[in-house]
Amino acid sequence: SQKIEQNSEALNIQEGKTATLTCNYTNYSPAYLQWYRQDPGRGPVFLLLIRENEKEKRKERLKVTFDTTLKQSLFHITASQPADSATYLCALPGPGANNLFFGTGTRLTVIP
């Protein structure tokens, strides 16, 4: 199986700053990596997917990088807003299997 570590349980930042979340994995290199957002009492919502041959992916204020040598993905939220406060999860597919391995998540709080 895959072991996935997200750098911190909680991260507090000031509104307007860039939040950077880290996802590290061990074992095999996945074909892609995903980031999800989860709000309290709700299921995760897909944000971005990055494939192993992509170094960087952007979507509005979100940016994801994927370094297969370091076995790490970085997730950035630029110009953060209080509405960005949530738990962010990274997820990787199992080897040849249709299931996702999730990190334990980082709870982001953007302070006004």
Is 37 within 8 Å of 86 (Cβ atoms)? yes
x-or-dash string of contact with another protein, 25-64, rule CB under 8 A: ------xx--------xxxxxx--x-x-------------
21/105 Cα distance (integer angstroms) = 9
48/5 Cα distance (integer angstroms) = 18
Q: Which of residues 92-111 bind another protein (CB under 8 A)?
A: 93-94, 96-105
Site for another protein, rule CB under 8 A: 1, 31-32, 41-46, 49, 51, 89, 91, 93-94, 96-105
